[in-house]
């Protein structure tokens, strides 16, 4: 199970917040709520809410409106922002795009539409995968470049880590050596397929018993299977 992604929902109407909260929670997201702009900014910069993946933000709010919130946050962060707007005036939306808003949804909206937009934006920003992948006792943390096996850290070189990550994200697929070279070594490499075999051998030995997940497909390449 990937780590839960955090979404900050900001709206002064509690009914609206609850509606959005329930839909997001049902899809497995962790929801942080704020009922006005000031609280939203405080919540966003609060240490315990680190790594908020997306903000859903109402425009019309007391104390500090949505635009001010965007201005404040955009000075420090490129976090994706979806604006909820009651009056779909184009000029407002243009102002929003200038400030760095990613998407607009005008009220009233269907929660299904909102969910589709949320998921599309998270996919675009590369966070929907979740930074932490867990599979068969292996925990792979993309951001920290760390691998643990049954909870114990394993020291991998950069290439070994990238190779394991490539295997894990393509689990169950037969991967040719050529495909692995293109995806893990890209264009900065002029070697041959033996390099892959050497790396796989090292990776397997570092993974202990879990090394068996990397299966050899004779005459072709490898396949990662738990």
Residue-wise pLDDT for 144-171, tens only, equals: 778 999 999 999 888 898 899 889 888 8
Note the pTM of the prediction, 2 decimals.
0.55
Helices (H), the chain: 14-26, 37-45, 66-74, 90-99, 111-124, 158-169, 177-180, 193-207
Q: In terms of C-beta distances under 8 Å and separation of at least 24 residues, what long-range contacts does 95-103 make, across chains too?
A: 95/67, 96/67, 96/70, 99/67, 99/70, 99/71, 99/74, 100/70, 100/74, 101/70
Q: In the chain, what are the domain boundaries?
A: 6-124, 158-224
Residue-wise pLDDT for 86-99, tens only, equals: 765 556 666 666 77
Closest listed residue to residue 194, CA positions, set 221, 171, 172, 215: 221
Give, in words, the CATH class of 158-224. mainly alpha
What homologous superfamily does CATH list for 6-124? Answer: Response regulator (3.40.50.2300)
Across 109-120, average pLDDT: 84
Distance CA(143)–CA(221), nearest Å, equals 28
């Amino acid at each position: 199970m990937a780590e839960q992604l955090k979404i900050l929902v900001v709206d002064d109407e509690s009914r609206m917040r609850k509606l959005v909260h329930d839909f997001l929670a049902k899809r497995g997201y962790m929801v942080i709520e704020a009922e006005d702009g000031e609280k939203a900014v405080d919540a966003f910069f609060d240490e315990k809410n680190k790594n908020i993946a997306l903000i859903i933000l109402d425009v019309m709010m007391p104390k500090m409106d949505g635009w001010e919130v965007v201005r404040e946050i955009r000075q420090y962060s490129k976090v994706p922002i979806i604006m909820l707007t009651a009056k779909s005036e184009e000029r407002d939306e243009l102002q929003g795009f200038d400030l760095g808003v990613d998407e607009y949804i005008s009220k009233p909206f269907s929660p299904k539409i909102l969910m589709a937009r949320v998921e599309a934006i998270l996919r675009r920003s590369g966070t929907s995968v979740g930074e932490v992948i867990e599979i068969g006792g292996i925990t792979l943390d993309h951001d920290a470049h760390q691998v643990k096996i049954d909870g114990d850290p394993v020291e991998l070189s950069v290439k070994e880590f990238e190779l394991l990550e490539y295997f894990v994200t393509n689990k169950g697929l037969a991967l040719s050596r050529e495909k692995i070279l293109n995806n893990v070594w890209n264009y900065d490499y002029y070697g041959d397929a033996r390099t892959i075999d050497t790396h796989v051998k090292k990776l397997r030995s570092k993974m202990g018993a879990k090394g068996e997940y990397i299966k050899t497909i004779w005459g072709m390449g490898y396949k990662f299977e738990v």
